[in-house]
Structure 1
Amino acid sequence: MKKLFVSALLLLMGLSTLNAQAQTKTKLEQDLEDFRNWMNKRVSQGDSITRAEWPAVKQEFRTRTQNLDRSSSQMNEASKQEYGQLKNQYQEWEAEHEERYGQPLSRETAANWERRLAGTNKIGQLKASQLRGTFVRFMENVRAQRTDWSLRDWDYAEHVYLQLNDRKQQVLSQMTNSDKMKVAALQVEFNTLRKSRDAKDRYNQMREQR
């Protein structure tokens, strides 16, 4: 009876270990699949990722690969190979973007762009009642000037946009519903114009490489 009990206990322990290993494998497979999907999504975005989003993208990569790095020894050979290829693909992709986003904006030039597009370099002091008019002026200038902008120019325009957006969030509760709706529409327009410029640049780059 005692031997039967011990055998049953060992069997249960063995099943428990196998179950734990299966769960670990499943978790690893899911993490790898999530990382694969994340990589595909980021690569498909091309240059539409903004300077403001870039630090968060790099941090997300580190977070997603942290557990996979620790558990890579438990992967089968096919998964190890795929994981290595995905990381190499990311490193190449990051290097391309870091060349652009790693260059800090000039404070003096940024202030000039604030005056040029928003009419002021004291955006952080705008009143709630001034936000709508300032956003309207900003977008009028963007529409008029964007044709000749380089990607670096768009970085400065985005800087002004983010300054306005931050101020909007600070005084949002004081804004009228009409002003909120108007500003929201202008924000959508700016982001659409920015992404269309990035798409145009990618298309031209593809043509040059043919």
Structure 2
Amino acid sequence: MKILNKLAPFILVIFSFTGGLSACETKRTVENSSVTSSTENTTTDNDTIQVIQHNTNAVQELKKFRDWVNQKASKVDSSTNENLPEMQAEFKRRTARLEKGLDSLSAEAKAEYKAARAKYKIWEEQNKKRTSQPLKAAEIKKRQAQLLGEYKNLNTITAANVREAYLIFMGAVRARKHNWNQNDWDYVDYVYRQLNNRKGEFETTISSADKLKIKSLQAEYLALEASQDAKDLLKTVRSK
């Protein structure tokens, strides 16, 4: 008993030391567990961020593609057909980028992509068909008389009267546009481009006021033409 009494302080110290060591080991295990959990969460978060980023990139590419198709599909004329090989190559590049991220898009976005592709293909087919048919000289002459009146002979247009020529042209377009089909618009666009070419021959001598008015008339014409092309394309898409 005396021996135990004498050893009691030492036993207490040893017990306290081993107890403290056990507590440290338990705490260390918790810390390791905590670190492991944090690492796992970080990995998961990174994966999630990458998926979101990939999805965001695909959505942005889809928006760019849709805007590009809408821009191209708003114009159908001979100059467009001349640049068609470049447009076809650009179409392939854009669709290739989108195809890589297609799985990350929603069902709605995939449907939108499919519709944009179809719209481009229809526009391309439509453009080839229209521009493959040459305009007839006799019809051009007839249209110039309808659209330009007294300025049907382009050589009579000068810096002094070019504004008036555009006013007459746009007046005829506004009055007749409701009855025109795609073929009519092709002839109208040809006359419009010829008028622009004539203006370009004496551009520097046109007054600033006349230039400003002509630009507003040109913008109006292009808006009307684009709107008609869009309606015709939409009608074709719906009929498919």
Q: TM-score, normalised by structure 2?
A: 0.56
Question: CA offset at residue 42 of structure 1?
Answer: 4.7
Task: Evaluate the alpha carbon distance shift between residue 104 and residue 42 of structure 1 in structure 2; reply closer, same or farther with a 3 A threshold.
Answer: farther
Between Structure 1 and Structure 2, whose CA radius of gyration is higher?
A: 2
Residue in 1 that maps onto 2:200: 169
Task: Evaluate the alpha carbon distance shift between residue 174 and residue 190 of structure 1 in structure 2; reply closer, same or farther with a 3 A threshold.
Answer: same
Q: Is the 8 A contact 1:123 1:167 kept in 2?
A: yes
Deviations 1:116-158 (A, max 9, x none): 1011332144111110001000001110111111111111111
Q: Which runs of 5+ in 2 are unaligned?
A: 1-61, 94-98, 101-116
Q: Does 1:45 align with 2:71?
A: yes
Moved runs in structure 1, 4+ residues, more than 2 A? 36-47, 59-65, 88-96, 199-206
Give the counterpart of 1:186 among 199, 217, 220.
217
Residue in 1 that maps onto 2:135: 105
Residue in 2 that maps onto 1:118: 148
Q: Which runs of 5+ in 1 are unaligned?
A: 1-35, 69-77, 80-87
Pairing of 1:134-173 with structure 2 (within 5 A): 134-173=165-204
The size of the alignment, in residue pairs, is 164
**Equivalent residue letter for 2:208:** N
Question: CA offset at residue 53 of structure 1?
Answer: 2.8
Question: CA offset at residue 202 of structure 1?
Answer: 3.1
Aligned-residue identity in percent: 28
Task: Evaluate the alpha carbon distance shift between residue 38 and residue 59 of structure 1 in structure 2; reply closer, same or farther with a 3 A threshold.
Answer: farther
Q: Is the 8 A contact 1:113 1:156 kept in 2?
A: yes
Question: CA offset at residue 185 of structure 1?
Answer: 0.5
Q: What RMSD, in angstroms, separates the aligned Cα atoms of the two structures?
A: 3.7
Task: Evaluate the alpha carbon distance shift between residue 55 and residue 97 of structure 1 in structure 2; reply closer, same or farther with a 3 A threshold.
Answer: closer
Task: Evaluate the alpha carbon distance shift between residue 64 and residue 149 of structure 1 in structure 2; reply closer, same or farther with a 3 A threshold.
Answer: closer
Task: Evaluate the alpha carbon distance shift between residue 180 and residue 92 of structure 1 in structure 2; reply closer, same or farther with a 3 A threshold.
Answer: closer
Q: Is the 8 A contact 1:43 1:93 kept in 2?
A: no
Residue in 1 that maps onto 2:226: 195
Question: CA offset at residue 64 of structure 1?
Answer: 6.0
Q: Is the 8 A contact 2:170 2:217 kept in 1?
A: yes
Question: CA offset at residue 195 of structure 1?
Answer: 1.1
Q: Is the 8 A contact 1:132 1:179 kept in 2?
A: yes
Deviations 1:35-68 (A, max 9, x none): x999755532364213143134224247769xx9
- Distance in structure 1 (CA, Å) of the matches to 2:190 and 2:228: 16
Q: TM-score, normalised by structure 1?
A: 0.63
**1:53 alignment partner, SS class:** helix
**1:127 alignment partner, SS class:** coil
Give the counterpart of 1:58 among 71, 84, 96.
84
